[in-house]
Amino acid sequence: MSVSPPAPRRSLRVRLLVGSLVWIMGALTLTGCVLADLFRQHVAARFEAELRIHLDQLTANIEMAVDGVPRLRAELSDPRLHRPYSGLYWQVDQAGPEALVATLRSRSLWDATLRVPGDSPKDGEIHVHRIGGPDEEPLVMMERVIAPAEGPDRPLRLIVAADERGMTDPVREFVGLLVIALGMLAAGLVVAVALQVFFGLAPLRQLRRGLVEVREGRSRRLDGAFPSEVQPLVDELNTVLLHDAEVVARARTQAGNLAHAIKTPLAVLGNAAAREQGVLARLVAEQVATAQRQVDYHLARARAAAAIQVPGLRTPLRPVVEGLLRVMRRVHAERNLQIGIEAFAGDASDVAFRGEEQDLQEMLGNLVDNACKWAKSRVLVSASAGDGRVVILIDDDGPGLPPVEREAMFARGVRADEQMPGSGLGLGIVRDLAQLYGGDVALVQSPAGGLRAMLTLPAA
């Protein structure tokens, strides 16, 4: 019987991989967000610190002329302030009720002015805003209100602004590189986890191979070195296998004792009835024969039912067939039948039955003996194996059976011809034993002209 692969949701490998993948993706995503945010804060702080330096430099160089107009004692040092629309600007506005816009500005503004919010910072305070620049580029603006010593009643509003892209572009580039780096790290970690899962679960694959060998009959126990976490399971499985073997052995012994205990009194009764005459003697003889057949039938079923519970059973087919054919040649020697093996598909050593040898002998013995009783001159046995099954064919050249009567032959007590010797239990026992092992038996027309018995059993 083939075993279907486990569903993905029940796979330990899938669980470990998915769990590790979720953890890796979550941890790296969180790490990326934290690093990106820290870098963004660092760049913003550096950007504002640079603006503050320019604002302080502007504050230190601004003065009021004699005519009350603000002017610079010296030009600011950054060359971008002298290049039109460079992205770095400064501007001086007149604060107070008679405010004047852009009374003084950097050359980088050219003929444009900065339109800033109408708030009024207190003396010494610094406000930061985001505004639009000369080319509508986003600017970060920093402002301060001062009262010059030359004209304390005429406060000035000092403004320094820089292109916001000077802050956002480095962050965007850093995030791009960070995504690539974390992606490569994630791929490496996933590969490492996959390898770890593969090698970590290797003992379970070894355990599975050992169980397959036990099931197919190549071994009676699990052998090999296993990790300390798996070895207790292996020991328990070996204990169960040993216990099952002991149970079957005890069952066989008890079945044999029961058969001996019952058959001996039945034999005594049968012998006593055979020495007497009359209706009672014949009745006793018939009932003793019936009881013996029933004992043989049920003991065979009980033995097979116990045997199929034990893993590791394996019976090579060819030795059993050859032994049975030698016996049948002697039993039917007076008929001078040709009893032989026609063909064994594949390597004969590989064709094996997954079950007890005694049960195989019981099934084949009944089928071959039945074929020999009805054959005219020839009985042939052939076998093949494939898809986990062994198919054994027994052909004879006898008269055969009509299709409507073939299935009835498997009923207990039914015989094809009452003139032929037999109990009428043979084919019934064969079908019951075959079905206990997961197989079956059928009767079809033989190419030899007679009947073909087709016995299907599990392969080892």
Q: Which residues contact 34 (CB under 8 A, 6 or more apart)?
A: none
**What does the pLDDT read at residue 100?**
67
Phi, then psi, of 444 in degrees rounded to 5: -135, 175
Q: Is 59 exposed, middle or buried (0-12, 13-18, 19+ CB in 10 A)?
A: middle
Question: Rounded mean pLDDT of 275-301?
Answer: 74
**Each residue of 142-179: pLDDT tens digit?**
998 888 777 677 788 899 999 999 999 999 999 999 99
For the cut 80, the answer to whether the pLDDT of residue 68 exceeds it is no
The yes-or-no verdict on residue 24 having pLDDT over 80 is yes
| pLDDT tens sequence across 74-130 | 888 899 999 998 999 999 988 765 556 778 889 999 888 888 887 777 766 889 999
Segment 264-291 shows an average pLDDT of 77
Q: Is the pLDDT of residue 364 over 70?
A: yes
DSSP string, 89-140: EEEEEE-STT--TTSEE-GGGTT---------PPBT-EEEEEEE-TTS-EEE
d(CA 45, CA 39): 10
| Beta-strand runs (E) in 279-388 | 315-316, 338-344, 352-353, 378-386
Query: What average pLDDT score do residues 390-415 get?
Result: 80
Between 2 and 432, the more confident residue is: 432
* Contact status, residue 431 vs residue 447, Cβ threshold 8 Å: no
Residue 108 exposed, middle or buried by CB count within 10 Å (0-12, 13-18, 19+): buried
Residue 66 CB neighbour total at 10 angstroms = 6
Token representation of residue 248: 């079957």
> Residue 95 burial by CB count (10 A; 0-12/13-18/19+): exposed, middle or buried?
buried
For range 400-414, the mean pLDDT: 75
pLDDT band at 73 (very low <50, low <70, confident <90, very high): confident
Which pLDDT belongs to residue 1?
A: 42
Per the DSSP assignment, residues forming a β-bridge with 441 are: 455
Q: What pTM did the predictor assign? A: 0.52
Q: Give 333: exposed, middle or buried? Use CB within 10 Å, 0-12, 13-18, 19+.
A: exposed
Q: What is the pLDDT of residues 38-48, one digit of tens each?
A: 999 999 999 99
pLDDT over threshold 50, residue 285:
yes
Q: Which structure tokens are listed for 189?
A: 């970690």
Least confident of 19-23, 79-83, 409-413: 409-413
Residue 15: predicted pLDDT? 86
Spatial distance between the Cα atoms of 145 and 1, rounded to a whole number of angstroms? 91
Q: Facing residues of 352 across strands?
A: 316
Q: Which residue has 């002015």 as its token pair?
A: 113
Any idea what DSSP says for residue 69? -
How confident is the model over 364-389, as a mean pLDDT?
A: 89
Kind and range of the H or E run holding 391: strand 389-396
Q: Which CATH architecture has domain 315-458?
A: 2-Layer Sandwich (3.30)
Confidence bin at 252 (pLDDT 50/70/90): low
Task: State both tokens at 316.
Answer: 């090579």
For residue 331, is pLDDT > 70?
yes
Of the listed ranges 2-11, 61-70, 197-206, 413-422, the one predicted with least confidence = 413-422
pLDDT band at 418 (very low <50, low <70, confident <90, very high): very low
- pLDDT at residue 191 tops 60: yes
- Considering only CA atoms, which of 364, 241, 219, 217 is closest in space to residue 249? 241
Please name the amino acid found at residue 65: A
Query: What's the mean pLDDT when you consider all of the chain?
Result: 82
* Cβ–Cβ < 8 Å for 95, 155: yes
Give backbone dihedrals phi and psi of 302, rounded to 5 degrees, phi first: -65, -40
Longest CA–CA span in the chain (Å) reads 162
Lowest mean pLDDT among 90-94, 299-303, 353-357: 299-303
- Pairing of β 338-344 and β 378-386: parallel
For residue 308, pLDDT over 60 is answered with: no
- Cross-strand bridge partners of residue 162: 88, 140
Task: Say which residue, 453 or 263, is predicted with more confidence.
Answer: 453
Q: What pLDDT does residue 97 have?
A: 58
Closest CA to 455 of 434, 438, 441, 436: 441
Return the closest-CA partner of residue 357 out of 318, 312, 328, 316: 316
Lowest mean pLDDT among 50-64, 92-106, 200-214: 92-106
How many residues are recorded in the chain?
460
Asked whether residue 425 carries a pLDDT value surpassing 80, the answer given is: no
Q: Which of 375, 379, 372, 374 is nearest to 339 (CA)?
A: 379
| Residue-level pLDDT at 183 | 93
Q: Taking 70 as the threshold, does the pLDDT of residue 347 lie above it?
A: no
3-state DSSP assignment of residue 171: helix
CA 143: distance to chain centroid? 65
**Torsional class of 449: left (φ above 0), alpha (ψ -120 to 50), beta (otherwise):** left
Q: Which of 3-12, 258-267, 345-354, 367-376 has the highest mean pLDDT?
A: 367-376
Distances (CA, A) of 127 to 86, 178, 320, 377: 23, 33, 102, 118
Instruction: Grade residue 348 by pLDDT with cuts at 50, 70 and 90.
Output: very low
